[in-house]
Structure 1
Amino acid sequence: MKAKNIVQIIIAAVCTLAFSCKKSFLDLSPISNANANNFYKTKADFENAIHAAYATLYVIYDPEEAVSYGEIRSDNATLYAVAGTQADKWAIRDHTETPSNTMVYQYWRDYYKALFNINNVLEKIDVAGLDEAYTNSVKAEMLFLRGLYYYNMVQLWGEVPIVTKVVSAEESYKILRSPVADVYAQIVSDLKFAVDHLPQADAVPAPGRASKGAAETVLGKVYLSMGDKTNAAAVLMDVYNSQQYELLPDYSSLWGPTVKNTKESIFEIQFIGGSASTPYSPYWTAFAPVTNGVITAYGGGINQVTDDLYNEYETGDPRRDASIDTGYTNASGDFVAIKFPKKWEDRGAPTSGTQELSRNNFMVLRYADVLLLLTEATGDPQYMNQVRARAGLALYGTAGYPSATYPTLDAALEHERRVELALEFHRYFDLMRTGRAVAVLTAKGKLVTQDRLLFPIPQYVITQNPAITQNEGY
């Protein structure tokens, strides 16, 4: 008998997602023991469903998920010995994935599981009979998430099936990969609705909920990825002029287990930590060196920092020491030299088994990113120079700037994004967006060709529905 197809696999696996997350996204009561057909009636019902949809961020931005395409595929990070499916993780690092890579298949499943949750809320809110303002606000939050996820997916796989409703098994066989232009059109449509109906940051219902500025920031990146600098500049300038965000005076003050939802944060995943029964941040454990046994109970060994990134920082740039640790002292008192991320450090976190119950939030979007994107969109270095001024470095265009190393604005901006946003899962997408991935990564010894920039479509997906095509190069 033919096995489940692409979307049926997703639906079967997602049915328990809204009921089994590490509590709900903001530690509110999750949906439980409710018949979905009878559940979605009141605003309280929808608030629970909204939190369950936001909880998918815990999966999509899990260290082993986001990092595998945001940093490890780039020149910023590497892997040594790690737990789990080492060969598949190394293949992602080295751009030698095959369609049978289990990690790539897991990413595919996780995205479509998340989309099922989101689409379910969208369908239910349209027929719930609640007031128009509330209905539009719910739709806007869900469309923000859907736009963000599809933007990630089109960067990872190129053409992907566009699923915008809950579908039956029979229907799902007819949903094939859509051209990249169509995927972008769907993303733009979703994000424009979100921009029109989301509140400004100072009026969101609770920390961690999407704002107009968050939707505009993602939309700006989407336009840049489409080569549309005019629209990108317009939407990013709206964020800039909103007076909702500002750079913190000190870069190091962005990081720490108690630093949450600052004026620089545009969209932030919320972690409570301190207890195994509340959402706790996984990054500190995952990014600590393997079995260090001193700074963490257990180290995941993911996202270990390359010398190439460490050496990218200019002399005196305080962002290097705020971002990267150079090693640790073991139980014997010996210093072990190894570079690893420092931004999500929580050395005082209680432990549960091998996991630090860390409290650090994770910023998906922050204002420095917007400023750098504005320079990319407009060609005006004044926005990038605000970021450099915060770091206490010579401004682009002045006598003290290292123009011999970064002689053009494009080169300067590539450098600035790399060091300002280091290890925050931006680097690979940046290189893809600017068309620099092959040139930069091959120069660093990675086996990258134009056909290997995207992930393969998982073989299991094609086996279940042979009408799904494979990416070139696989």
Structure 2
Amino acid sequence: MKNIKFYIPILIAAFVMTSTRCSEDLLDIENPNTPTVESFWKTEQDAEMGLNAAYNMFYKPSTWTRWIYFRYDLTSDEGHSTSPWGELADWTRFKYSNYNFWDGNNWHWRDFYKAIFRTNQVLTYVPAIPFDEARRDRILAQARFIRALYYFQIALLWEDAPIVLEISKPDDQPEQRTEAEIWAQVEEDLNWAKDRLPEKWDDPNMGRATKGAAKALLARAYAQQKKYPEAKAELDWLVVGDGKQYYGLIDNYRENFTHNFENNIESVFEIQFSDRNKGNDSDNLSASMGFQRTQFFAPGGIGWQDGKARAWLIDEYKKEKTKDGKNDSRLLTNIFYKQAYKDFPDAANNDTLVYNRQWNNVDWGNETFIKKYSTYYYRDREDYHAPNNFRFIRYADVLLLYAEMLNETNQTADAYQYVNMVRERPSTNLPRLEDAYPEIGTDYNLFKKRLQMERSLELCFEAVRWMDLKRWDLLTTQAGIDELRTRDIDFNNFTVGRNHRLPIPQVEVDNNEHLDQNNPY
């Protein structure tokens, strides 16, 4: 059940009207349906509505509704695109001929800064509204969390970009800042927010940012900068500290990606999707709040099949058997493939079928489709309104990142237990890591390399792989690219020193004299 929905924002606009023919009094009439800055931002309810406008940016095709997964999942070695829309497919193959490609670049940039604009409105106007200080701080902390979340994406995708902390105007030309400065802003916002956010919300407010979400996102930011002790310190609260009481792993891995068991103990931060409204993508009360990725990743005849899984993942899953001698059930959850019925002969509820269909040999051949988050378990085709919440940060991710930080801080022996918690989940049921790979021991490099694969097998197609590859220097070294090429032929197009970040939309560079195109684009 969706407990909170961040509905369409109040649009704040100021209009000045003059006329030589009419009395100013006749024109000076407020439209109650179009509040102005002067008439809005007066009450606690206004503050909440302004904050909801910032949350609402999650429901845009450029953010977590649709296109972001083409960048984070399909451009990584886990996925690829065979879209008949050539420019879209090329954008996942590191072929950037048009820096103004809307769906792969400009819309991300525009809407990330649009979300930041909305948080800046909250942070500017809400402090002057008289109401309970603790409630006001919770609103401001959520705004800071959301702003940090978007600056995180900007640092990850473009690296050098403007930092805008005030309410922007159409003619502003903000200065370009360095990646390090953007990370510093992420840290500042999350450090301010983390102790002002509640550890847990009541049911009507489920889905809002919490202290644990802020700490987990801050840990991600520290880890990306290789500030490993700082990242570990933030994760301590969730894994071994007071926050541990709120989190855990659910028994059935599969249910993390359906709409049946949302906001469970494994959820650290979850974007709340719904099929309640089946409108378009605009800013109005009937706009869609559905998860659209499933429509683009489903097999042909069911969806658009623009995004597909790389087959090497199937081989990796099958390298190990469970404690009772079976294949890893995460494979069945995450990928549609032709031989699934052979690999999982005792699968329940026709789970080896594809939306209750036998494999279409003519149209699908030996393709491998992304199954995670699809709605095959209750309907026979996809649309633009899937109700599944997107688990932005799962506790399994936290545990594996914590193990990584322990390894990075010379505590490899202590890291095993947190990997094993994920491997020994009842539905996964794999042997302990030290039993399966005794040769690793406490060797830093061997543990790190195995952990990289553990993260992919647990977290594939959850929009974290690009972040991981970048943190591990696999996108910034020739050795890293050579490794990725063995799994994904698209990396034959990758140029070291160039494709680890996106070009800034050229229209932004052309219109802002303080903005330089990312070198060597």
Report if aligned partners of 1:71, 1:428 keep a CA contact under 8 Å in 2: yes
Find the aligned partners of 1:343 and 1:147 in 2 and give their Cα distance: 27
Q: Cα distance, 1:312 vs. partner?
A: 2.4
Measured after TM superposition, the shift of residue 25 of structure 1 is 6.9
Match of 1:288 among 272, 285, 298: 298
Provide TM-score, normalisation by structure 1. 0.86
Deviations 1:421-441 (A, max 9, x none): 010111111000111225133
Write out per-residue CA displacement over residues 185-207 of structure 1, whole angstroms, 9 at most, x where no aligned residue.
11100001110100012558611
2:374 equivalent in structure 1? 345
State the partner residue of 2:270. Answer: 268
Alignment of structure 1 residues 214-233 onto 2, 5 Å: 214-233=213-232
**1:151 equivalent in alignment to 2:129:** no
Aligned counterpart, 1:382: 417
Look up the equivalent residue of 2:307 and give its one-letter code.
N
In 1, are the aligned partners of 2:498 and 2:520 still within 8 Å (CA)? Answer: yes
Q: 1:25 to 1:428 in 2, by over 3 A?
A: same
Displacement, 1:389? 1.3
Tell me the CA shift for residue 136 of structure 1: 1.0
Aligned partners of 1:181 and 1:27: how far apart in 2? 32
Deviations 1:99-121 (A, max 9, x none): 23332112111111111111111
1:452 aligns with 2:499: yes
Q: CA deviation at 1:329?
A: 8.2
Displacement of 1:54: 0.5
The offset of 1:311, in angstroms, is 2.2
Match of 1:70 among 54, 69, 72: 72
Distance in 2 (CA, whole Å) between partners of 1:33 and 1:368 is 44
* 1:452–1:473 Cα contact (<8 Å) kept: no
CA, structure 1 residues 63+75, in 2 after alignment: closer, same or farther (shift >3 Å)?
farther
Task: Determine helix, strand or coil for the equivalent of 1:452.
Answer: coil
| Greater mean alpha carbon deviation, residues 125-134 or residues 235-244 | 125-134
Distance in 2 (CA, whole Å) between partners of 1:401 and 1:285 is 42
What's the CA shift string for 1:267-297, capped at 9, x where partnerless?
Answer: 111122155146222232121124x1xxx3x
Q: Deviations over 1:203-262 (max 9, x none)?
A: 586111000000000000111111111111110011112111100112122232322111
Asked whether the equivalents of residues 66 and 292 of structure 2 are also in contact (C-alpha less than 8 Å), the reply is no
Letter aligned with residue 453 of structure 1 = H
**Gaps spanning 5+ residues in structure 1: where?**
1-23
Secondary structure at 2:67 match in 1: helix
Does 2:309 correspond to 1:305?
yes
Give the deviation of 1:45 after TM superposition: 1.6
Q: CA deviation at 1:28?
A: 5.2
Offset, 1:403: 5.8
Q: CA deviation at 1:61?
A: 3.5
Q: Which amino acid aligns with 1:376?
A: E
TM-aligned CA distance change 1:334 to 1:135, over 3 Å? closer
CA RMSD of aligned residues (A): 2.6
> Contact 1:324–1:339 (CA<8 Å) still a contact in 2?
yes
**Does residue 515 of structure 2 align to residue 468 of structure 1?**
yes
| Preserved CA contact (<8 Å) 1:223 1:232 | yes
SS at match of 1:221: helix
The structure number with the bigger radius of gyration is 2
Distance 1:107 1:399 in 2: 42
Q: Which amino acid aligns with 1:73?
A: T
Separation (CA, whole Å) in 1 of partners of 2:358 and 2:188: 58
Cα distance, 1:450 vs. partner?
2.4
Q: Which residue of 1 aligns with 2:395?
A: 367
Counterpart position of 2:188: 189
Distance in 2 between residues matched to 1:192 and 1:96, nearest whole Å: 38
For the residue of structure 2 that corresponds to 1:311, the secondary structure is helix
Q: 1:29 to 1:164 in 2, by over 3 A?
A: closer
- Relative distance call for 1:117 and 1:360 in structure 2 (3 A) is same
SS class of match (2:246): coil
Aligned to 2:205, the other structure's residue is in SS state: coil
Aligned to 2:110: 109
Residue 92 of structure 1 deviates from its aligned partner by 2.1
Q: Which moved more, 1:434-443 or 1:263-272?
A: 434-443
SS in 2 for 1:413: helix
1:53–1:114 contact (8 Å) kept in structure 2? yes
Q: Is the 8 A contact 1:350 1:356 kept in 2?
A: no
Q: Does the 8 Å CA contact 1:274/1:349 hold for their aligned counterparts?
A: no
Aligned partner of 1:253 in structure 2 is 255
270-279 or 235-244: bigger deviation: 270-279
Deviation string 1:370-411 (CA, Å, 9 cap, x unpaired) is 00110111112221121111121122222566869x981111
Equivalent pair of 2:249/2:266 in contact (CA under 8 Å) = yes
Give the conservation status (yes or no) of the 8 Å contact 1:27–1:279: no
- Could you tell me how far apart the structure 2 residues matched to 1:69 and 1:28 are? 26
Which of these residues, 446, 451, 460, is aligned with residue 422 of structure 1? 460
Q: Distance in 2 between matches of 1:29 and 1:111?
A: 16
* CA contact 1:259–1:360 (8 Å) conserved in 2: no
Corresponding residue number in structure 2 for 1:324: 335
- Are 2:217 and 1:207 aligned? no
Structure 2 segments unaligned to the other structure (5+ residues): 11-32, 279-285, 321-326, 339-353, 408-414
TM-score by length of 2: 0.78
Fraction of identical pairs, as percent? 29
CA distance in 2, matches of 1:73, 1:195: 32
Change (3 A) 1:402 1:92: farther
Q: Report the equivalent of 2:412.
A: none
Contact 2:274-2:289 at 8 Å conserved across structures: yes
Quote the residue 1:42 is aligned against. Answer: 43
Report the Cα distance in structure 2 between the residues aligned to 1:128 and 1:223, rounded to whole angstroms.
34
Residue identity opposite 1:441 in structure 2: L
Partners of 2:180 and 2:358 in 1: how far apart?
A: 57
Name the aligned partner's letter for residue 484 of structure 2: L
Moved more, 460-469 or 370-379: 460-469
Partners of 2:277 and 2:169 in 1: CA distance: 39
Is the counterpart of residue 412 in structure 1 residue 450 in structure 2?
A: yes
* Counterpart-to-counterpart distance in 1, 2:299 and 2:513: 41
